Structure 1
Amino acid sequence: MKNSNNTEDKNIHNKNRNRTPPYGSYGYSWFYIMLFILMIVFYITVSSTNKTKEIGWSTFEQEILAEHDVEKIVVINKEIADIYIKPELFEKEKYKWITDGFFNNKMGPHFRMNIGSVETFENKLQQAQQDFSKEELIDVKYNSQTSWTNILAWLLPLVFIIFFWIYLLRRLGSGNSASGTLFNFGKSTATLTEKDTKSSFTFNDIAGLKEAKAEVMEVVDFLKNPERYTKLGAKIPKGVMLVGPPGTGKTLMAKAVAGEAKVPFFSISGSEFVEMFVGVGASRVRDLFKKAKEKAPSIVFIDEIDAVGRSRGKINAFQANDERESTLNQLLTELDGFGKNTGVIVLAATNRPDVLDKALLRPGRFDRHIYLELPTKEEREEIFGVHLRPLKLSKNVDSSLLAKLSPGFSGADIANICNEAALIAARKNKKEVEHADFMEARDRVIGGLERKSKIISAKEKEIVAYHEAGHAVASWYLKHVDSLFKVSIIPRGKSLGAAWYLPEERQIVTKAQFMDQICASLGGRVAEEIIFDEISTGALDDLEKVTKQAYAMVAYYGLDKEIGPISFYDSTGQNEHILSKPYSEEMAKLIDKEVQELITTAYERTKNLLVKHRVKLEKLAKLLLKQEVVEKDSLEHLLGKRELKELVEKQQ
């Protein structure tokens, strides 16, 4: 047992001895130590030099030479005379400054003066010593030397600049472990997950996305068991593009691939290819695929590929050398330049497929496009189940009910709601997270932070109450509007009030549904006009939404009789930078006219509806002023049970 421990200690010692410490391990301390020493030397030299006083000839002759205080004179480079005082005179009052302070100047020189020319200086000195005896004559020496002060004056800044650049260039070069010097900044910065590395994240941790998981799992299975596919002559797709709205789980899917695949996994962001240096992006692409081929079979994951994969259109025609375009060209070459069955598979993720270059999306590069849509009710229930696991829940929390109350939510939104609910429960010192906490978290995520402290006048509060009541009553009696479950006049975020709906999960929208939605959105503005005979600016958001919906109906979806089945929508995004419109001025006038008539018709329809139900409108507004929030039960008690069949019969 003792020998075993000794062996382990030796192994650890050998590993530590052979391990080369990275540059950042001692933080360039040697650089600062050298700089500090140089500064001290420079300070000592300059301090001692500053003890030497500059004087003129008359002062030297009358106050020093005439007093016989000079020990010797040294002429430096035939320009400067250094004057040394006799050591026994340092105690005199006028020479005490020589020995004062920490840095004294006993060794000299003590005085210094410019001599002009050697001949003139010698003549003056000879005349001044005419009355001196032979023993009193001053010894004059001539030296040629370079001053340390002058050397340090230009050498120290130079040394500092050199060390600073060495430090800076090493910092530039050490952006990742693979590029430790300046000349390696073109190397790939991809993070490598080795095949022996165990990851806790697998496909079992991804809820929903069954079809997408099946597609990606097939790629992983090919790398694990290639013989099953190759014996039938099948070829695995070279590239798989994950496309979907933000928060639907594209990067999450890649993490699961890294955990499931028993092959090296390279992950990198698209923005890491683009640098300020020309050619770095293309160099990193080459290096990334070189490493991937060396470790084949392997997987390369490029997150947010739209950073380098943007379409090469006319917008870049005026640029002589676009770094992003050269990077994309290299990426296209690498994707389609694989040898047969090299075993390198590329996964990429983006939420902007419309801006990607067509050459990038063609078969042979990215053969498969997997679309990750927003989750359905059943998928949301599974996602809630995943995110509810770590929470301490109350018995009244039902994941199926939470899934029903969160239509249109992505996986990231659901994770955010679960986390917010736990924070709210902790803030209230609860021992468990309750259903009410999830509802409060949902409202906060959608509408923003509740601001009960916001001070508004009584008149403004009354206008808001009737405005929200107008939305509620109009939507209650319209067939195709989503189910209303709460009305509030508590300020949240930028809004002063809100009507909360449960949207139906539709794939298509009819003209009748569009018209009902527009009428419900205009309910607040119409209610203000009916009750106060005056309108306010509170309907800005509603009018913006209504105008966009009306223009979409007329110009995009072809739902207008006058315009006909014509659509000016550009799904490719190529006309995004073109200033001109894809239709004539006459057509633009006709579109504007039809949109105006459509909104005006919806406004009159909403006005007739609210005038008919004015009593209920006023009751609901007064109830809102009293208790600020009205739930679905109170709405049914006040407005009657919403029976859509009866509404259809009445409207017919």
Structure 2
Amino acid sequence: MSDSKKDSNPNMPKFKFNAYWIYGAIFVVIMAFQFFSSGDLATKSISKNEFNEILKDNDISRIVVLNNNLAQIYIKEEAQKKERYSKIKNSAFYTQGSSFYDYNFGDLQNFENNVEKARQANELDFDIKNENKTSVFDTILGFLPFIILIAVWLFFMKRMSGGGAGSGGGGQIFSIGKSKAKLFDKDTKVKTTFENVAGLEGAKEEVQEIVDFLKNPEKYTSLGGKIPKGALLVGPPGTGKTLLAKAVAGEADVPFFSLSGSDFVEMFVGVGASRVRDLFKKAAEKSPSIIFIDEIDAIGRARGKNSMTGGNDERENTLNQLLTEMDGFGTDVNVIVLAATNRADVLDSALMRAGRFDRQIYVDLPNINERKEIFEVHIKPLKLAEDVKIDFLAQQTPGFSGADIANMCNESALIAARNGKKAIHHQDFLDAVDRIVGGLEKKNKVITPKEKKVIAFHEAGHATISWMLEHAAPLVKVTIVPRGQSLGAAWYLPAERMIVQTEQMLDEMCATMGGRAAEKVMFDKISTGALSDLEKVTKQAKAMVTVYGLNEAVGNVTYYDSSGNDGFVKPYSEETGKTIDQEISKIIEAQYVRAIQILEENKDKLTTLAELLLEKEVIFKDDLEKIFGKRPFEEALEVEIVDEKENITPVELKTEE
């Protein structure tokens, strides 16, 4: 492999500088200097007898007594030519002027007396000098415990303050109160633009206006308009709120500060408020600019509801500082705040008011037209076969978010590759829907023939009722192949409605009860397989009575509180509660009886469908047309391109337990 290929490989490890290397290099230099400059590397330790021999030969030029316990012996130059000294002098570690020998004499007074006697007896002419000397290494060893304690303290403080240098200004102990926002400007371009954001036309229009205001403020200020302070992106997870903010960063020619709400939260008191001040200070310095706070509910929750945390809550202090920065004294700079959350109901009302977040942009689940656009974005990098129908896939995925569609496209590619295909076919996309909604196919699940027959009639009951009723969602596919926790499933194609009428809800409930009704009609017994069906119809009937006011006995009242403050309070009396329970039961039982009547009238067709399902395990709409004929309500298949206010479950999964 050439060097150019190595450099272009993104998976190869890259050299990264670490500040700790500087400390290590300094330590190595100090140790090397101490090691090589000591002059004692070639010095030899001698005994008392060897010292006395050198003393008698009068070869000593001087003696240096170190720290009162060690004598360094220096040899005269003319004596260094002797064989006993030449080995030490010619050593690679010997430096000119260094000592030749070390003599550990023990008691200083006895040593001096013995040397003085030898000097007088042999007329010796050397000097004795006393010195106190401490090495750098010994000094470091003395302070080593304190150095270790300081290093450990710095390490933990750095970890608590947000990590290393890559975590921004808050990563260092002395800048813990600095903002962690990542800055995108002309030097760090974001490649995402509005062209990469499929659908979301209304949201893009409002956000585009904010970007345009920063680019051309005179266009609006000439008419007396003021720049909006902020925009709050609200919507379910996966609908593209963060992607829309990235597109703003890519489109705007102004500095863009991006961070998460959790970046303000820290264990130290006052750090969150300090980071808010530092963030707005930096944004004001680069004005006009945009600040994007993702998941703002981490710091923007309503104040005063968490009494257990006490009055000096760090999160509340952070929120108070944010409120002040967004609309307090001296906030006359061109700084716009974008924020995203999927929990707008928990945000503080002071944060939501006009003047702070002037606009609340709801990013809803995409409709059929928008899903088609999202599919066209995500299939660009895929190798598709000619039989892929994007229009059908858009119809087949009501209730899917942009993230769900992206996952579906990726899953289809994995399924095609697993089967050894060279391109992704339409069936691979349908299998991806099955995999995402129903779970992984359980090929090794043991089901007895009797259980399999019950499951087949159960699913055939759902298919028969949904085919016969006008307002029931038309069936696309029925299967008795176990997936995930289910033993059988039915896939529907519900219409995307803005409102739902009583007859439509009743028809859907009747179709849902078709599984249990089929068991009753064919076997005169019922099983636990209708658990998910009962859960669904109970929720629907309860909503009809207590939420939408669609029951005559209870009347045109609703006990639904959109603020979510009725969790611990029952908003109706005991007598009304009894009436509600009775009406819910009446609605469900009426639809159960209705389902039994329909299945009794079409018992032969139900049997034919169940037997076909036992044979094929998977049947489609075409199979139902052969048995029941053309569906009399075919126009219901044409889905209106509207924004759906009432969320209808996109795929009804029937679980047999």
Same fold judged by TM-score > 0.5? yes
Q: 1:156 to 1:457 in 2, by over 3 A?
A: farther
1:170 pairs with one of 158, 161, 182: 158
Aligned counterpart, 1:296: 287
Cα distance in 1 between the residues matched to 2:461 and 2:320? 57
Q: Does the residue aligned with 2:409 lie in a helix, a strand or coil?
A: helix
Match of 2:263 in 1: 272
Corresponding residue to 2:405 among 406, 414, 432? 414
Q: Does 2:227 match 1:236?
A: yes
Instruction: Report Cα offsets for 1:542-576 as digits up to 9, x if no partner.
Output: 11111111111111111111100110111112334
CA contact (8 A) 2:168 2:182 kept: no
Q: How far off is 1:249 after superposition?
A: 1.1
Structure 1 residue runs without a partner (length 5+) = 1-23, 39-105, 111-150, 648-652
The 3 A distance-change label for structure 1 pair 33 and 528 is farther
Letter in 1 for 2:508: Q
- Say whether residues 1:514 and 2:514 are aligned partners: no
Residue 584, structure 1, aligned to residue 576, structure 2: no
| 2: CA distance, partners of 1:276 / 1:340 | 29
Shift of 1:523: 1.1
Deviations 1:395-434 (A, max 9, x none): 1112222212222221111111111111111111211111
Q: How does 1:505-584 map to 2 (within 5 A)?
A: 505-576=496-567, 579-584=568-573
1:160 equivalent among 148, 171, 184 = 148
Distance 2:289 2:197 in 1: 22
CA distance in 2, matches of 1:34, 1:533: 88
Higher mean Cα deviation, 612-621 or 292-301? 612-621
Which of 433, 436, 443 is the equivalent residue of 1:442? 433
* Shift in alpha-carbon separation, 1:262–1:461, aligned structure 2, 3 A: same
Question: Which of these residues, 320, 325, 332, is aligned with residue 323 of structure 2?
Answer: 332
SS of the residue corresponding to residue 583 of structure 1 reads coil
SS of equivalent to 1:575: coil
Secondary structure of the corresponding residue to residue 513 of structure 2? helix
What CA deviation, in whole Å up to 9, does each residue of 1:183-242 have, x standing for no partner?
211211111001343332111111111121111111101111111111211112110111
Write the distance in 1 (CA, Å) between the matches of 2:603 and 2:103.
Answer: 107
Counterpart selection for 1:612 from 594, 601, 606: 601
TM-score normalised to the size of structure 1?
0.75
Q: Deviations over 1:241-262 (max 9, x none)?
A: 1111111111111000000100
Partner of 1:364, secondary structure, is coil
Alpha-carbon distance between aligned partners in 1 of 2:529 and 2:29, rounded to the nearest angstrom: 70
- Please point out which of 629, 646, 650 is paired with 1:640: 629
Could you tell me which residue of structure 2 aligns to residue 601 of structure 1? 590
Kept in 2: contact 1:563–1:590 (CA 8 A) = yes
For 1:474-485, what aligned pairs fall within 5 Å after superposition?
A: 474-485=465-476
Deviation at 1:453, TM superposition (A): 2.3
Aligned to 2:112: none
Return structure 1 stretches of 4+ with deviation > 6 angstroms.
Answer: 30-38, 106-110, 151-155
Instruction: Report if aligned partners of 2:215, 2:252 keep a CA contact under 8 Å in 1.
Output: yes
Distance in 2 between residues matched to 1:231 and 1:534, nearest whole Å: 77
Distance 2:623 2:104 in 1: 101
Q: Secondary structure at the match of 2:522?
A: helix
Shift of 1:313: 3.9
Gaps of 5+ in 2: 1-15, 31-101, 107-138, 637-657
2:249 to 249, 258, 265: 258
Does 1 or 2 have the higher relative contact order (CA < 8 Å, sep 6+)? 2
Residue in 2 that maps onto 1:215 = 206
| Counterpart among 16, 20, 30 of residue 28 in structure 1 | 20
Aligned residue pairs: how many?
525
Q: 1:107 to 1:514 in 2, by over 3 A?
A: farther
Q: Distance in 1 between matches of 2:349 and 2:170?
A: 33
1:179 matched residue in structure 2: 170
Q: 2:150 is aligned with what amino acid?
A: I
Deviation of 1:637 (Å): 0.5
Q: 2:17 is matched by which residue type in structure 1?
A: S
In the aligned structure 2, how far is the partner of 1:152 from the partner of 1:400?
75
Identity percentage of aligned residues: 58
Q: Is the 1:196–1:262 contact (alpha carbons within 8 Å) kept by the matching residues of 2?
A: no
Matched, 1:380 2:380: no
The change in CA–CA distance for 1:160 and 1:596 in structure 2 (over 3 A counts) is same
Q: Give the TM-score taking structure 2 as reference length.
A: 0.75
SS at match of 1:499: strand
The CA distance in 2 between the partners of 1:359 and 1:454, in whole Å, is 55
* Structure 1 counterpart of 2:297: 306
Equivalent residues of 2:169, 2:176 under 8 A apart = no
